[in-house]
């Protein structure tokens, strides 16, 4: 597929890396010649230096033949305008990064319709939603939902004292009168799709799938359910903090935000009247302790500096704050933070790449079992996909045990048309109109029938 990416900052570079791995023909646009040179040296892409709103630049990039145009510059207005021009000049589909709360809170639908933008993405809002899910379920360090929260998939790292250690999966299933599936295990960087005889070990990262109600009961039965975070401290008052605080306050949580810039602090105090705003440097340990860090259920670091987020998060962990989450965009730093003992890190780049990749896969698919949801899971070694089943699918009506499924593929859940979620066994089958959750290791799926040999 011919794709143009305009803007090669953190998000744009991540998208280029992801889409290049998928084998697409990429052209990048950026106003900096230095950035273009660096990107074309690293990736197999064409580069055009210039403005994404300039018609000559767009023509040089091949906009008239582009299947998809993605604008992720630092300016919302430039992104929207460049998408509008690109669509007028022949681009089939357009995606714009729109971050400003004023646009997202009030007029996003109107702008999308008037500018004919196919999809709008807001990395900060997406990250805030992910953080909110984690704060509501502190037992996990990754939470994903499928079929409008009918099924839930979480990732948990097993500690030495976990009741799951040294247990075989079939024994675990026998002791629980609940529907759940441990669909994938990451052990020392190696992804495993386990069978019933697989034995769990300390240090394993497991992917656990169940209905939300069953998930809570299961974690409680296993002694792994932690109290939901209600008193939360945020370090950094950027857009993500605003979106997250808004969600937390609406659910009755107590929120305290520490922000270094006075003008930003004042703006947040007006926009979030129920939050407590502290003007100060959140990296100062004395300030955190004075503001009652130890009495909070959760501490989330959301500054623009990965290193500050990691180090301050480690300090909070050392003060026995029950849940600590850090925003870390650089993957190598995220891995380092985990080795140092910081269990949970999140990245706007990863979340945004997942959303765009799902959209690209859907555009590629001409058969109709479209991808509803796509997540990179288990440190990026696998994908979890939600497919809508069309009437022509080759998997309909056949018991799962009789389907010839490729290796590295697992059907993790079926949501029937009456919205009944099932963790399937061999005798279950898929029907037209169902939604199917698939785990795929080292496989690139664009259609449900791609799971078949």
User: Does residue 380 carry a pLDDT above 90?
Assistant: no
User: Does residue 415 carry a pLDDT above 80?
Assistant: yes
For the entire predicted model, the pTM comes to 0.90
Let me know: does 76 contact 82? Beta carbons within 8 Å: no
- Nearby residues of 266 by Cβ (< 8 Å), 6 or more positions away: none
Q: DSSP letter string over 407-439?
A: TTEEEEEEE-TT--EE---TT--B-TT-EEEEE
Q: pLDDT exceeding 70 applies to what percent of the chain?
A: 98
How far apart are alpha carbons 247 and 251 in whole angstroms?
Answer: 7
Q: Which pLDDT band holds residue 417 (cuts at 50, 70, 90)?
A: confident
- The per-residue pLDDT for 44 is 96
pLDDT 10s digits, 207-225: 999 998 899 999 998 888 8
More confident residue, 310 or 365: 310
pLDDT 10s digits, 124-167: 999 999 999 999 999 999 999 998 889 999 999 998 888 899 99
User: Does residue 369 carry a pLDDT above 70?
Assistant: no
User: Does residue 105 carry a pLDDT above 80?
Assistant: no
State which H helix or E strand residue 440 sits in.
Answer: strand 435-441
Mean pLDDT of 72-81: 96
Centroid of chain to Cα 96:
18
pLDDT 10s digits, 21-71: 999 999 999 999 999 999 999 999 999 999 999 999 999 999 999 999 999
User: Does residue 368 carry a pLDDT above 70?
Assistant: no
State which H helix or E strand residue 135 sits in.
Answer: helix 123-136
**Phi/psi class of residue 31: alpha, beta or left (left: φ > 0; alpha: ψ in -120 to 50)?**
alpha
Q: Which of 138-147, 355-364, 365-374 has the lowest mean pLDDT?
A: 365-374
User: Does residue 234 carry a pLDDT above 70?
Assistant: yes
More confident residue, 13 or 113: 13
Residue whose pair of structure tokens reads 């440190």 in the numeric block:
379
Across the beta sheet with 180-187, the strand order is: 142-146, 151-157, 205-210, 180-187, 190-192
- The per-residue pLDDT for 434 is 93
User: Does residue 400 carry a pLDDT above 90?
Assistant: yes
Let me know: does 75 contact 53? Beta carbons within 8 Å: no
Domains of the chain and any CATH numbers: 2-121 (3.40.50.720), 140-221 (3.30.70.1450), 231-346 (3.40.50.720)
Average pLDDT along the chain = 93
């Amino acid at each position: 597929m011919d794709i143009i990416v305009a803007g090669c900052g953190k998000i744009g570079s991540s998208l280029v890396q992801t889409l290049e791995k998928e084998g697409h023909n990429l052209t990048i646009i950026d106003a900096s010649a230095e950035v273009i040179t660096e990107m074309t040296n690293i990736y197999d892409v064409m580069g055009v230096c210039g403005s994404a709103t300039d018609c000559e630049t767009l023509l040089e990039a091949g906009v008239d033949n582009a299947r998809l145009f993605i604008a992720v510059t630092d300016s919302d207005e430039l992104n929207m305008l460049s998408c509008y021009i690109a669509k007028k000049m022949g681009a089939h589909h357009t995606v714009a990064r729109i971050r400003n709360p004023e646009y997202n809170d009030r007029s996003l639908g109107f702008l999308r319709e008037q500018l004919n933008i196919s999809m709008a993405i807001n990395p900060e809002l997406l990250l805030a939603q992910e953080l909110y899910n984690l704060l509501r379920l502190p037992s996990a360090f990754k939470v994903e939902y499928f079929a409008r929260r009918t099924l839930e998939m979480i990732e948990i790292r097993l500690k030495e004292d976990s009741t799951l250690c040294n247990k075989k999966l079939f024994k675990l299933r026998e002791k629980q009168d609940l529907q759940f599936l441990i669909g994938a295990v990451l052990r020392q960087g190696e992804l495993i799709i386990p069978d019933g005889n697989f034995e769990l070990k300390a240090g394993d990262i497991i992917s656990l799938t169940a209905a939300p109600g069953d998930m809570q009961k299961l974690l409680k039965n296993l002694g792994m359910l932690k109290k939901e975070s209600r008193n939360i401290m945020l370090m950094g008052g950027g857009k993500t903090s605003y979106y997250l605080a808004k969600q937390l306050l609406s659910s009755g949580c107590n929120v305290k935000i520490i922000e270094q810039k006075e003008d930003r602090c004042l703006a947040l105090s007006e926009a979030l009247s129920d939050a407590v705003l502290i003007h100060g440097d959140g990296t100062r340990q004395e300030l955190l302790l004075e503001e009652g860090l130890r009495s909070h259920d959760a501490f989330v670091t959301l500054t623009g500096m990965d290193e500050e987020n990691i180090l301050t998060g480690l300090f909070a962990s050392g003060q026995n704050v029950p849940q600590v989450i850090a925003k870390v965009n650089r993957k190598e730093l995220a891995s380092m933070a985990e080795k140092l003992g910081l269990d949970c890190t999140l990245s706007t780049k990863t979340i945004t790449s997942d959303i765009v990749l799902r959209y690209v896969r859907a555009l590629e698919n001409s058969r109709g079992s479209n991808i509803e949801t796509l997540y990179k899971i288990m440190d990026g070694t696998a994908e979890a996909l939600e497919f809508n089943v069309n009437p022509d699918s080759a998997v309909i009506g056949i018991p799962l045990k009789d389907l010839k499924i490729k290796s590295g593929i697992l059907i993790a859940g079926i949501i029937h048309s009456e919205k009944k979620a099932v963790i399937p066994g061999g005798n279950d089958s898929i029907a037209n109109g169902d939604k199917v959750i698939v785990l795929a290791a080292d496989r690139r799926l664009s259609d449900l029938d791609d799971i078949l040999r």
